Structure 1
Amino acid sequence: MPFIEAGNSRLYHEVHGEGPPVVLMHGVGGNHAGWFNQVPAFARRHRTVVIDQRGFGLSTDAEGLGRSAMADDLALVLDHLGIERAAIVAQSMSGGAAVNFACRHPGRVSALVMADTAQGIALSPDLAAIQAEAMKAGEALTPIERVFGPSFLAAEPSLAFLYRQISGFNRYNARSITGAFPLNAPEALAATGIPILFLAGAEERRFPVPLLRGVQAQVAGSRFVLIERAGHSVYFERPDAFNEVVLGFLAEAA
């Protein structure tokens, strides 16, 4: 099985296809299996790496480090695979790992996609207020309503069920995950010179669109793309649109 030893923990990963490397990193409700709509498309052009963050999917977290170790885990996976430089596509939670890795190792990141996330980025007071309001409003939502927009939930109940089944393989969830991501100033992220894309669903409720637009505006040189009829999980809700936008961005950044 494709495991990497990380202290007393084991990190699961898969590699598909050939070409410029790209790493797909899931959110707190996902794992490597959640990228089933992306892997076939990405692997036609890229050496596509999917990983289970520690405590998710088939990866373990014996030390209980959680988020605190995820940037180091990414370096470990890349080193194990002999990949010096890769594009990173980070969904939600994994944005924190991606931002920290990018700020620490800018030469190892060819492009960065922040999908439905501002994790790992220090928020200005006005944006922090938007985030706090969204978190409070989210208390009235079910877990699945935080993940998906109303359009997807109405149209695709069977896929929403599949998502819950995939999530069920995780040891951690949003309440139990340990550790924390260091916060980086948006100016520090911009200073890396890495091509950066922020992507969001128009029905996003976890990181509201005004928040993500505000963060993107503070990361000089970055781009923003809004996908209609999607919430917090564009990759799952609108995979064709997600793949087209992200693959196009990676091609331009190459």
Structure 2
Amino acid sequence: MLGRVQAQEYRAGPSRLSYHVTGEGDPIVLVHGLSGSGRWWRRNVPALAASYRVYVIDLVGYGRAYRQRALGVQGAAALIARWLDDLGLERVTLIGHSMGGHICTHVAAQRSGRVRNLVLACASGLLTGNIYRVALKLPRAAITGRLTFVPRVLADAARAGPVNVWRSTTDLLGDNVSDLLPRLTARTLVVWGARDALVPPRTGRALAAAIPGARYEEIPRAGHVVMVDAPARFNALVLEFLAGDEPAGGRADRAGEA
């Protein structure tokens, strides 16, 4: 589906953000993780775009926005926050995977007036450790997920390049969001793969416990790329969560709110 939608660009200084838009309704913004791209959401976009307007981002240095120096977690968050402002997006649902969830946590803290819902999928915001130890977990993380997805992971990592992947990894390991979590006001769903070997489920449970009112869901037999390993379950959880934000009359009533 993404391949049939023309990419758009957002420029801020030397940085170029690439994104696709599909569907109609309140906005959902999808943010991929480390060494990823917007293509990682291809099993999720159709289900979400049936009811929402979906924005699929390629972060600076990744996917269609490659051949740039990757921004750090906070730099990427500041750029996305500015992008939300310039597009005038309101009642936003941010959905971020791994490093993308880490970035979305910062965006939700910076733009609480714009971000209504936050979905964190195997987010790295509380991940700690030595970069070499994290690297050693990558092979196990790959084989505990959907094996047919491994070529896509390798292709996107190669496109981003080892320097960007290394820079992003060291940056996210040095950025802990513990202080932000109690101050988040967005409705929050935390979704984890029970077999995540890179960011273990105990991290997800700790993340959810620290966010006021957050809901935690763990998907059996899914690994780190949870939305790829179990797309039907992931999509159902997200849509159910968003439906819980609807008033009795649905989005038509919300459109008339002041």
TM range (shorter): 0.7 to 0.9
Question: Is this contact kept in 2: 1:134–1:205, CA < 8 A?
Answer: no
CA–CA separation in structure 1 for the residues paired with 2:72 and 2:129: 23
Residue matched to 2:253:
none
**2:166 corresponds to which residue?**
175
1:173 Cα shift? 5.0
Q: 1:132 to 1:246 in 2, by over 3 A?
A: same
Letter in 1 for 2:47: A
Matched, 1:205 2:205: no
* 134 and 244 in structure 1: CA distance in 2 versus 1, 3 angstrom threshold: farther
Task: Check if 1:244 corresponds to 2:236.
Answer: yes
- The count of aligned residue pairs is 237
Q: 1:100 to 1:157 in 2, by over 3 A?
A: closer
Correspondence 1:62-141 to 2 at 5 A? 62=68, 65-119=71-125, 131-132=128-129, 136=133, 138-141=134-137
Alignment CA distance shift 1:147-1:74 (3 Å): farther
How much does 1:246 deviate?
Answer: 1.1
Distance 1:211 1:184 in 2: 12
The corresponding residue for 1:124 is: none
- Give the structure 1 partner of residue 61 of structure 2: 55
Q: Tell me if the contact between 2:30 and 2:57 (Cα under 8 Å) persists in the aligned partners.
A: yes
Shift of the alpha carbon at 1:144?
4.4
Query: 2:219 is aligned with what amino acid?
Result: I
Aligned to 1:189: 181
TM normalised by structure 1 equals 0.82
Deviation by residue 1:160-184 (Cα, 9 ceiling, x = unmatched): 2233334433246532437557544
Structure 1 residue 213: Cα displacement = 1.0
> Shift in Å at residue 200 of structure 1?
0.5
Q: TM-score, normalized by length of structure 2?
A: 0.81
Q: Is the CA contact 2:92–2:115 (under 8 Å) kept in the aligned structure 1? A: yes
Q: Distance in 1 between matches of 2:201 and 2:220?
A: 11
- Greater RCO (Cα-Cα under 8 Å, separation 6 or more): 1
Q: 1:190 to 1:161 in 2, by over 3 A?
A: same
- Which range moves more in the overlay, 167-176 or 91-100? 167-176
Return the alpha-carbon distance in structure 2 between the equivalents of residues 9 and 162 of structure 1.
Answer: 24
Counterpart contact for 1:201–1:229, Cα < 8 Å: yes
Whole-Å separation in 1 of the counterparts to 2:43 and 2:96: 15
Cα RMSD (Å) of the superposition?
A: 2.6
Do the aligned partners of residues 134 and 196 (structure 1) sit closer, same or farther apart at CA in structure 2, a change above 3 Å counting?
Answer: farther
CA contact (8 A) 1:31 1:167 kept: no
> Does structure 2 retain, via aligned residues, the 8 Å contact 1:134–1:208?
no
Equivalence for 2:3: none
TM-superposition CA deviations, 1:18-40 (whole Å, max 9, x none): 01111000001311111110111
What is the DSSP-based 3-state SS (H/G/I as helix, E as strand, rest coil) of the residue aligned with 1:96?
helix
Alpha-carbon separation, structure 1, partners of 2:130 and 2:17: 35
8 Å CA contact 2:157, 2:165 repeated in 1: no
Give the structure 2 partner of residue 145 of structure 1: 140
Q: Does 1:163 align with 2:153?
A: yes
Seen in structure 2, the aligned counterparts of structure 1 residues 140 and 100 have a Cα distance that, compared at 3 Å, is closer
Q: What is the CA distance between 1:235 and its match in structure 2?
A: 0.6
1:4 to 6, 10, 19: 10
Moved beyond 6 Å, runs of 4+: none
CA separation of 1:182 and 1:166: change in aligned 2, threshold 3 A: closer
Counterpart of 2:233, as a letter, is A
